[in-house]
C-alpha cells in the first residue's frame, strides 16, 4: 500500500481505490491538492519514511513544509479522518504487540 520510490510516493489506481482515499480524491474539487493531502498523510504516518526520524512534535510541520511549502499547514477535518483511517490500515497484529510492550 502506497509505495515510496526514491523521494516520491507512488500512487496507483489500486491505492486510490481504497475507500477513504477514493472518497477524498473523488470529492475534491482540486485533484492536485487532494493528492498532496494524501501524500502528507502517507509521509506523516507510514512507518518506513525518512520523516520517521523526526520527533512527533515537529514531524507534521516538517512534512507540511516539504509538501505544501507551509510549515503552518493545518489539516482539514477530512484530512484528519484520512489520517486516522491510514493509521488503522497500518496496524497489524504484530504492530499491536510491539505497541503494547
Mean pLDDT, rounded, of the chain: 87
The residues with which 10 forms a beta bridge, in sequence order, are 3
Do 62 and 17 contact (CB within 8 A), yes or no? no
3-state secondary structure of 2: coil
Give one word for 9, left, alpha or beta, with left for phi > 0 and alpha for psi -120 to 50: beta
Domain tally, the chain: 1
- Residue range of the domain that includes 14: 3-100
Confidence of residue 96 (pLDDT cuts 50, 70, 90): low
What is the structure's pLDDT at 55? 94
Q: Report whether pLDDT(90) > 90.
A: no
pLDDT of residue 98: 67
The C-alpha cell at 24 is: 477524498
- The model's pTM is 0.84
Amino acid at each position: 500500500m502506497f509505495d515510496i520510490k526514491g523521494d516520491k510516493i507512488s500512487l496507483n489506481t489500486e491505492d486510490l481505490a481504497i475507500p477513504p482515499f477514493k472518497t477524498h480524491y473523488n470529492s475534491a474539487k482540486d485533484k492536485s491538492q487532494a493528492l498532496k493531502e494524501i501524500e502528507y498523510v502517507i509521509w506523516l504516518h507510514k512507518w518506513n519514511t525518512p520523516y520517521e526520524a523526526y520527533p512527533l512534535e515537529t514531524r507534521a510541520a516538517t512534512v507540511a513544509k516539504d509538501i505544501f511549502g507551509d510549515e503552518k499547514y493545518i489539516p482539514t477535518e477530512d484530512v484528519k479522518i484520512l489520517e486516522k483511517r491510514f493509521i488503522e490500515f497500518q496496524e497489524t497484529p504484530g504492530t499491536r504487540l510491539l505497541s503494547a510492550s
